[in-house]
């Protein structure tokens, strides 16, 4: 089996397992950028500014370099616990939507 065949088989297996199929180099930062561009379409301009700011300050510096496919729940839980020590509940809740 060639390397390309193995990669294709892995993509099909992920799809069959119900996992989101994303390129292996797709990072959290890129996912956030895509969400800010496409996921907030039609939202109020102030909402877009707030989400962009929270993403740039809290999410991307901490998790942005991580490959989305490799990001685990434990890592996100640790990040949330760390942020909960310094952010208000409202800001933390808004940051997790960002």
Structure confidence by residue, pLDDT tens digits, 18-29: 665 567 788 999
pLDDT of residue 27: 93
Averaged in consecutive runs of 10 residues, what is the pLDDT profile of the chain (98 residues)? Answer: 70 65 82 92 92 94 91 91 89 74
**Helix, strand, coil in percent for the chain, rounding step 5:** 70, 0, 30
For 23, the token pair is: 């390129």
Cα separation, 61 vs 30, in Å, equals 12
Q: Which helix (H) or strand (E) holds 81?
A: helix 73-84
Residues whose CB falls within 8 Å of the CB of residue 52, separated by 6 or more in sequence, listed in order: 36, 98
């Amino acid at each position: 089996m060639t390397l390309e065949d193995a990669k294709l088989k892995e993509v099909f297996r992920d799809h069959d397992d119900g996992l989101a199929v994303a390129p292996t180099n797709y990072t959290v930062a890129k996912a956030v950028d895509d969400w800010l561009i496409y996921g907030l379409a039609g939202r109020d301009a102030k909402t877009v500014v707030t989400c962009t700011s929270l993403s740039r300050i809290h999410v991307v510096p901490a998790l942005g370099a991580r490959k989305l496919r490799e990001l685990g729940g434990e890592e996100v839980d640790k990040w949330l616990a760390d942020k909960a020590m310094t952010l208000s509940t409202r800001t933390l809740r808004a940051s997790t939507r960002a």
